[in-house]
Amino acid sequence: MSILVNKDTKVIVQGFTGGEGTFHAEQCMDYGTKIVGGVTPGKGGQTHLGQPVFNTVKEAVAATGATVSMVFVPPAFVADAVMEAAAAGIELAVIITEGAPVRDMQAAKACAVKNGMMTIGPNCPGIITADECKIGILPGMIFKKGRVGLISKSGTLTYEGANQVVKEGYGISTAVGIGGDPIIGLSYKQLLQMFQDDADTEAIVMIGEIGGDLEIQAATYIKENITKPVVAFIAGQSAPAGKRMGHAGAIISGSAGTAKEKMDALSAVGVEVVVSPAEIGKAVKKVLS
Amino acid sequence: MNIHEYQAKQVFAKYGVPTPRGIIANTPDQAVANAGELGGNIWVVKAQIHAGGRGLGGGVKLAKSKDEVRELATEILGMTLVTHQTGPEGKLVQKVYIEEGADIKDELYLSVVLDRALEMPIIMASTEGGMDIETVAEETPEKIIKIAIDPAFGFQGFHGRELVFGLGITDKAEQKKMIQFASKLYTLYMENDAEMIEINPLVKTGSGDFIALDGKMAFDDSALGRHPEIEDMRDISEEDPDEREASQYGLSYIALDGEIGCMVNGAGLAMGTMDTINYMGGTPANFLDVGGSANAETVAKGFEIILKNPNVKAIFVNIFGGIVRCDRIANGIIEATKITDVHVPVIVRLDGTNAPEAAEILGNANIANLIVATDLGDGAAKAVAAAKGEK
């Protein structure tokens, strides 16, 4: 078990033949991900990385039975690509693209929800189930198999957190980078529940940051629904208000969205909150021993 | 991206959102000429900077004669305006907006922003116009109306009714005017990929008209590509020159007031590094995300920008190599120290792909001032010690 993806998951790549799509699709295949084809409009009928290329997602799904799409389409066209995946019956779209307009993602997400398609991202490193399936740009070798689930808005903090968990002698079941944009797909709440239900996950690490209130919503959710131990770190305790800290969504608006309010909310519901990402590994060890 | 009040009002006018008439001026002479062109006998001289709170800071003043327009324009142009949004260093005023006086009967507040929890735009309105909305939200939250609009269906009649009844507008003609005002503002928000529109105050005049006395707009940077006419409104003199230079090299940089320069890959880890420095008793001098494709050139540029800040006493390079290989970064750091004169201790932590090779490269390079760290905690501790002059 694990969550969302495993060794049997059939994946197509939207933006398959582009530079990024090609490089990362190849890396994913090397990791063991079952990439069964890709979509590049106008290049249907070709073969790329040994797999068929289709003009539309609908054709790709019909021919391959893929249920997941990894999206590497440029920002101006990414909403269109996500809606196409939703209309074609894809179950999960993992959107790696950075710099998608917020208005576009608002529409794309509403369309995905209406069609019953889950999304991860945009502007995220993707998802990995250790030793089985990697979808995105995560460096696979860090994620040794184990029983800790990880959810993070930040790419490099995902790697940092996973690395520490492994160094403490534990491992990762599934790690999900949910992205740092103002509007994202799957968030802490849904993923926490999936890890709660996953027999192979014993503890959960959640890494958040300033801006928005998803971490506060997560705290409320944890109180009522999550019994597995949770370790949390919120980046940006030392960030100034009103400044966008790299990620489009990482901004303290007025007095809302600070690291402190999120840390307090999580602490209050029994989450092991650390003040530095350097403490994540030790905290996991603490909650598991 | 932010624009000035006078530019926001140009956008408003394009959509039929009523504003007072006004003309922008760069000199006192122009200001007087503008007052003449506008006519009347009362004008407002308004400093144009990208920050709120201009009135309280002395940047918005009323003139009752053309002599007074000249006097005030002379005073405001070239002043460094300090408001609660500019920081203590303030902002230099280079333009003044000369506007006709308005007959103010009532002051309201109206804004359109994205509600991230609802994932749709909301119209926020309040009868407490002219006040800081954060304060209103804190002290009298019941005086703020929030109306969510689903972009799939757009602005409907009920949105308008919730707005006018919520604001206590009872006159039929006034209700109609306010609903039109808000509906146009919503259209403008959507069509221009705005991130935020704020009108504070929105005034009701003696004749029952609603006009935008102030106007503030910010746009989604990711969507500027499809709005060249908005991008043309960019005023680079309002942006931090170092942040701007950094962005041209694909670096995301924000200056802070501490002593330890930070160079990190990834925004989350960059913030986490700042937090760790703080936690260990030091102070970060900046946020700097070198991005996913860090190379010798970008690392060198990063050093250059960090070292422009005279407060920097040590630099912490914290890279977690994923797809990016650490040995390449190590070579980049060595190259960078050849291009740039790095005169403070540099603490380097490279982890992830090819980290052992990277450690060997750095060890063999024999660079004075370079301290190798094994992990994030170790690196932050060494950086804090180095900034304090300890070895």
Q: Which two tokens stand for residue B50?
A: 């990208």
Q: Please say whether the beta carbons of A95 and A122 come within 8 A.
A: yes
Smallest CA–CA distance from A77 into chain B, residue = B223
CATH number of B20-101: 3.30.1490.20
Instruction: Tell me how far apart the alpha carbons of residues B343 and B334 are, in angstroms, rounded to a whole number.
Output: 14
CB-count exposure of residue B15 (10 Å: 0-12, 13-18, 19+)? middle
Smallest CA–CA distance from A216 into chain B, residue = B117
Instruction: Tell me how far apart the alpha carbons of residues B200 and B215 are, in angstroms, rounded to a whole number.
Output: 7
Do A246 and B375 lie within an 8 Å CB cutoff? Answer: no
Question: Which residues of chain A lie closer than 8 angstroms to B286, CB-CB?
Answer: none
The confidence band for A176, taking pLDDT boundaries of 50, 70 and 90, is very high
Alpha-carbon gap: A10 to the closest alpha carbon of chain B (Å): 23
**Residue A122, preceding peptide bond in cis (omega within 30° of 0):** yes
Cβ under 8 Å to A: B residues 25-84: none
For domain A10-120, give the fold.
Rossmann fold (3.40.50)
Rg of chain B in Å (alpha carbons): 26
Alpha-carbon gap: B306 to the closest alpha carbon of chain A (Å): 16
| DSSP type of residue A48 | E
The pLDDT value given to residue B391? 56
Do B352 and A100 lie within an 8 Å CB cutoff? Answer: no
Q: How many CB atoms lie within 10 A of CB B241?
A: 10
Do B195 and A102 lie within an 8 Å CB cutoff? Answer: yes
The pLDDT value given to residue A111? 97
Catalytic residues of B: 109, 198
- Residue A121 predicted with pLDDT over 60: yes
Strands A133-136 and B314-321: unpaired
Do A246 and B289 lie within an 8 Å CB cutoff? Answer: yes
Task: Return the beta strands (E) in A33-179 as ranges.
Answer: 34-39, 47-48, 51-54, 68-71, 92-95, 118-120, 126-129, 133-136, 145-152, 172-177
Flag whether residue B221 sits within 8 Å of chain A, measured between CB atoms. Answer: yes
Mean pLDDT of A202-228: 96
Instruction: Report the side by side order of strands in the sheet with A51-54.
Output: A47-48, A51-54, A34-39, A10-14, A68-71, A92-95, A118-120
pLDDT (tens digit per residue) in A178-203? 999 999 999 999 999 999 999 999 99
Smallest CA–CA distance from B374 into chain A, residue = A278
Q: Please say whether the beta carbons of B386 and B285 come within 8 A.
A: no
Q: Which two tokens stand for residue B387?
A: 């900034």
Which member of B256, B321, B377 has the closest CB to residue A240?
B256
Helix, strand, coil content of chain B in percent (nearest 5)? 40, 25, 35
Do A245 and B376 lie within an 8 Å CB cutoff? Answer: no
Mean pLDDT of A210-219: 94
Cβ under 8 Å to A: B residues 164-203: 190, 193, 195
| Alpha helix positions (H), B222-295 | 228-231, 241-248, 267-279
CB-count exposure of residue A269 (10 Å: 0-12, 13-18, 19+)? middle
Instruction: Tell me how far apart the alpha carbons of residues B165 and A84 are, in angstroms, rounded to a whole number.
Output: 41
Cβ under 8 Å to B: A residues 4-63: 27
The pLDDT value given to residue A154? 93
Q: Cα B164 vs. chain centroid, distance in angstroms?
A: 31
Catalytic residues of A: 247
Q: How many CB atoms lie within 10 A of CB A111?
A: 19
Which member of B117, B268, B352 has the closest CB to residue A142?
B352
Instruction: Tell me how far apart the alpha carbons of residues A177 and A136 are, in angstroms, rounded to a whole number.
Output: 9
The pLDDT value given to residue A102? 96
Whether A10-120 and A139-288 share one fold: the answer is yes
Do A235 and B271 lie within an 8 Å CB cutoff? Answer: yes
Q: Which two tokens stand for residue A261?
A: 């309010």
Q: Please say whether the beta carbons of A71 and A81 come within 8 A.
A: yes
Q: How many CB atoms lie within 10 A of CB B80?
A: 12
| Alpha helix positions (H), B120-266 | 133-139, 157-166, 172-191, 228-231, 241-248
Do A138 and B322 lie within an 8 Å CB cutoff? Answer: yes
Q: How many CB atoms lie within 10 A of CB B172?
A: 9
- Residue A224 predicted with pLDDT over 80: yes
Cβ under 8 Å to A: B residues 329-358: 351-353
Q: How many CB atoms lie within 10 A of CB B131?
A: 16
The pLDDT value given to residue B291? 80
Q: Cα B359 vs. chain centroid, distance in angstroms?
A: 39
Closest by alpha carbon to B38, among B48, B28, B24, B26? B24
Q: Which CATH class is domain B241-387?
A: alpha beta
Instruction: Tell me how far apart the alpha carbons of residues A55 and A39 are, in angstroms, rounded to a whole number.
Output: 6
Rg of chain A in Å (alpha carbons): 18
Smallest CA–CA distance from A124 into chain B, residue = B266
Q: What is the pLDDT along chain B (391 residues), one digit of tens a residue?
A: 999 999 999 999 999 999 999 999 999 999 999 999 999 999 999 999 998 888 888 999 999 999 999 999 999 999 999 988 887 888 999 999 999 999 999 999 999 999 999 999 999 999 999 888 888 888 888 999 999 999 999 999 999 999 999 999 999 999 999 999 999 999 999 999 999 999 999 999 999 999 999 999 999 999 999 999 999 999 998 888 889 999 888 899 999 999 999 999 999 999 999 999 999 999 999 999 988 667 777 888 899 999 999 999 999 999 998 767 888 888 888 888 888 888 899 999 998 878 888 888 988 888 888 999 989 999 999 999 999 987 5
Q: Please say whether the beta carbons of B20 and B223 come within 8 A.
A: no
Helix, strand, coil content of chain A in percent (nearest 5)? 35, 25, 40
Flag whether residue A128 sits within 8 Å of chain B, measured between CB atoms. Answer: no
Closest by alpha carbon to B329, among B344, B314, B303, B350? B350
Flag whether residue A163 sits within 8 Å of chain B, measured between CB atoms. Answer: yes
Give the mutation candidate from A26, A160, A164, A275 for the B interface (greatest B CB count, under 10 A).
A160
Do B377 and A276 lie within an 8 Å CB cutoff? Answer: yes
pLDDT (tens digit per residue) in A234-272? 999 999 888 888 887 888 777 788 999 999 999 999 999
Do B267 and A246 lie within an 8 Å CB cutoff? Answer: yes
Do B223 and A235 lie within an 8 Å CB cutoff? Answer: no
The pLDDT value given to residue A65? 97
Residue type, B351: D
CB-count exposure of residue B297 (10 Å: 0-12, 13-18, 19+)? middle
Q: Which two tokens stand for residue A284?
A: 């996991």
Flag whether residue A268 sits within 8 Å of chain B, measured between CB atoms. Answer: no
Q: Please say whether the beta carbons of A3 and A191 come within 8 A.
A: yes
Do B268 and A100 lie within an 8 Å CB cutoff? Answer: no
**Domain-wise residue ranges, chain A:** 10-120, 139-288
Q: Please say whether the beta carbons of B286 and B256 come within 8 A.
A: yes
For domain A139-288, the CATH superfamily is Succinyl-CoA synthetase domains (3.40.50.261)
The pLDDT value given to residue A261? 95
* Exposure on the CB side of residue B23, measured as CA atoms within 13 A: 15
Among the CATH numbers 3.30.470.20, 3.40.50.150, 2.40.290.10, 3.40.50.10420, which is that of B103-237? 3.30.470.20
Interface ipTM > 0.90:
yes
- H-helix or E-strand containing B336? helix B326-339
The pLDDT value given to residue A1? 65
Question: Which residues of chain B lie closer than 8 angstroms to A110, CB-CB?
Answer: 119, 150-152
